[in-house]
Amino acid sequence: MKKIAVFASGAGSNAENIIRYFLDNKEIKVVLVLSNKADAGVHGRVAQYGTPSFTFTYKEFNEGSEVLKKLAEYEVDYIVLAGFLLKISPAIITAFPQKIINIHPALLPKFGGKGMYGHHVHEAVVAAGETETGVTIHYVNENYDEGQIIFQAKFPVLQTDTVEDVERKIHELEYAHFPEVIEKLWG
């Protein structure tokens, strides 16, 4: 069985969706959720599925050793970033080469990089007058949003679409495709 750790910083809807998707899967299981925020909603969401979650400090994450110990304790094979806002430390990237993936709420390479997450991305897409946007699932490397692209799904942005409309459509794509791509990659 392949064991996955999910890293999340916020409400955790993507983390919950992934956990639910793999609940009865014999090949893949989410065994651990890690967050940089003790008050992140993800902790409550995943508790209902019996998935343990832990919080780490920025220093622990940046140095990597404490986080790597926790990943080893749970025998984690792969890492999924689901709304995780910190740059992955070199120690973790080295320990999990080509085994860390992220979902980004735009069609990379557009609208990526430091500070481009969540609402900020949707606002930039609408302000730029983009005619399409979507999600990108990619491997994580030492630079924000520059790892090899694994999958993209897109939709047209209508002239009448608000930032909230774009956000809703992005979430629909995330929920539909992220677990499936994980399963195809590692199942």
DSSP-derived secondary structure letter, 66:
H
Could you give the maximum distance between any two Cα atoms of the chain, in Å?
50
Q: What is the DSSP string of 108-128?
A: TTTT-STT--HHHHHHHHHHT
Sheet of strand 78-81, all strands in order from the earlier edge strand to the far edge: 53-55, 28-35, 2-7, 78-81, 100-104, 132-139, 149-156
Q: Answer yes or no: are the C-beta atoms of 142 and 90 closer than 8 Å.
A: yes
The rounded Cα 80 to chain-centroid distance in angstroms is: 5
Catalytic residue among 43, 104, 122, 138: 104
Annotation says 104 is catalytic: yes
Catalytically active residues are: 104
